[in-house]
Amino acid sequence: MPFALASSPVADAPAAAPRAAGTAPMISPDEAVRARPAPVREGRWRVVVLNDPVNTMGYVVLVFRKVFGFPEPVARKHMLEVHEQGRSVVWSGLREQAELYAFALQQWHLTAVLESDETH
């Protein structure tokens, strides 16, 4: 009986016992947490605004000026990128600040996402 629980050879075997082919080693939940890679928090992250059919171009310019403090020409440049290309990278930097900017843009009802900036 390969699936008998009462006298399982895995439960009674020492830790270095050979395993059947295709079975994963048994590890404790604590070891699993320690073995899990840490989330990427360092490095640079991009705030990307995506195009949507709801917000007007003037409204998007206004939001960029309020949230980022962009001058009118810079805000208009990013708005046109969103309108014509479907997306614009409006900010790049540390993740915590990127999350704050993305949240602020979402509060203004713009579609904003974070992307890891793997080039830096």
In DSSP terms, 39 is beta-bridged to: none
| Token digits of residue 69 | 């403090």
Tell me the C-alpha distance between 117 and 98, whole Å. Answer: 11
Q: Confirm whether 91 is domain-assigned.
A: yes
Interval 18-44: pLDDT, tens: 555 655 556 555 665 555 554 555 689
Domain membership of residue 6 (yes or no) is no
Residue 4 inside a domain? The answer is no
Does 85 fall in a domain?
A: yes
Q: Is residue 21 part of a domain?
A: no
The number of domains in the chain is: 1
pLDDT at 2 over 70: no
d(Cα 48, Cα 89) in Å, to the nearest integer? 4
pLDDT confidence of residue 22:
59
Compute the distance between CA of residue 42 and CA of residue 55 in angstroms, rounded to an integer.
33
The CATH number linked to 106 is 3.30.1390.10
Phi and psi dihedrals of 30, rounded to 5? -65, -40
Q: Is residue 63 part of a domain?
A: yes
The residue-averaged pLDDT of 1-18 equals 53
42-80 tens-digit pLDDT: 689 999 999 999 999 999 999 999 999 999 999 999 999
To the question of pTM greater than 0.85 for the whole model, the response is no
Rg (CA), the chain: 25
Within a domain: residue 75? yes
Q: Quick check: 105 pLDDT over 80?
A: yes
Instruction: Indicate if the pLDDT at residue 8 is higher than 60.
Output: no
Lowest-pLDDT choice from 41-45, 97-101, 105-109, 110-114: 41-45
Four-residue CA torsion sign, 88, 93, 98, 100: negative
Question: Is 11 within a domain?
Answer: no
Q: Domain containing 60: what range? A: 44-117
pLDDT of residue 118: 81
Bridge partners of residue 93, in order along the sequence: 45
pLDDT of residue 39: 52
Distance CA 64, CA 58 (A): 10
Residue type, 4: A
